[in-house]
Structure 1
Amino acid sequence: MASGLCGTFPGKDWVPDLVARHTDRLATGFLDGFDLSRKKADNAYEYQRFFELISAKIVLYDIQPENTYNMDEKGFLIGALNKARRVYTSTNKPNGAGQDRNRAWIAIIAAICQDGTSLPPAIIYQGMFLA
C-alpha cells in the first residue's frame, strides 16, 4: 500500500521513520491477538443476511421487544497478556498493562433487553472442587 501511495518501494525501516517524523500525531504500541474466524465473519453481507433472517422470525412468532435479550460472554486469563506492536495517535496513548502470569480463568457475562433494560453483569471466577 505504501509503495502505491508514494510511487517507490519503501525501505525496511520506513514505519519507524514515519512515526519518528510525525511524533506529534503518531506513536506505537501493542495489539491483542484475535481469532481469524471472527475477522472472516465480519462482513456486511453476513450481517445483512443475519438481520433479514432474524427479522422474519420476529414477525412470524410475534416476538415483543421486552422478550428479546442479547447476551455476551468474554473470558480471559487473569495474568496473561498477549501483545503486538501498533501505531496510534499520540493523544490517545493507551496505559500500560501489568501481568503476573496467574492462570485463573475469569468469565464476564452481560445481558441487555431490546426494551433498554438490562441484567446486572455476572463475573464468574474459577471454582474450587470440594471432595
Structure 2
Amino acid sequence: GLDPIRAQASNYTTFHHNFNLLSNYLKDNDIPWENVYNMDEKGVQLGGGRKNLQIQYFFSRDDRMMYRGKSDELQLVTILDCVCADGTADIKPGFMFSEVGKFGKWFKVHNDIV
C-alpha cells in the first residue's frame, strides 16, 4: 500500500496537471494508450533474517557505527512488474536473481497466480 506520509503529501492539482500533459502528448503524437507501460521493481531478501534467529539487537541512537548482518543463506531477488495502461498486455512479472544458487520451490507457480 501507499505510505501514509506519501499519501498526505500527494497533490491532486499536480497529478491532474501531469496526466493532462501526458494525455495531450499522446494525442498530439498519435500514441495509443495500449503503448503506454508502467514498470516497477521491488527487491526482496530470501533466507536468513531476524525471524529465523529470534534475536534482536539494540544499539544506542548515538552509536554511529555501521552494522551489517551476515548469513550464507541469503538470496537477493528483484521482482520486475510491468503493466500496460489499458490493461490489454498480458505481461507476467519477471524475477532477477543475483546469486548463483536457486531453490526449485521459487519456480513453482500457484494456480491462483496464472
TM-score, length of structure 2 as denominator length: 0.50
Q: Which amino acid aligns with 2:42?
A: K
Question: Could you tell me which of 75, 82, 100 is aligned with 1:104?
Answer: 75
Alpha-carbon spacing, 1:60–1:123, altered in 2? closer, same or farther (3 Å)? same
Structure 2 counterparts to residues 1-131 of structure 1, below 5 A: 38=6, 42-79=10-47, 80=49, 99-100=51-52, 103-113=74-84, 114-128=86-100
Q: Structure 2 stretches of 5 or more lacking a match?
A: 54-72, 101-114
* SS of aligned partner of 1:119: coil
**Could you give the per-residue CA deviations for residues 45-65 of structure 1, whole angstroms, max 9, x where no partner exists?**
231122111111111111013
Q: TM-score normalised to the size of structure 1?
A: 0.45
Q: Residues 40 and 127 from structure 1, CA distance in 2 versus in 1: closer, same or farther, beyond 3 angstroms?
A: farther
Give the superposition deviation at 1:71: 1.5
Structure 1, unmatched stretches of 5+, are 1-33, 82-98
Deviations 1:11-54 (A, max 9, x none): xxxxxxxxxxxxxxxxxxxxxxx6x6x55753322311221111
Q: Distance in 2 between matches of 1:112 and 1:68?
A: 9
CA, structure 1 residues 42+75, in 2 after alignment: closer, same or farther (shift >3 Å)? farther
Moved more, 111-120 or 57-66: 111-120
Report the secondary structure of 2:31's partner residue. Answer: coil
Give the aligned residue type for 1:108. I
Count how many residue pairs are aligned between Structure 1 and Structure 2. Answer: 78
- Residues 41 and 56 from structure 1, CA distance in 2 versus in 1: closer, same or farther, beyond 3 angstroms? farther
Structure 1 residue 118, shift from structure 2 partner: 2.4
Q: Percent identity?
A: 28
Code of the residue aligned with 2:19 in structure 1: it is F
Q: Deviations over 1:71-106 (max 9, x none)?
A: 22111233557xxxxxxxxxxxxxxxxx34864322
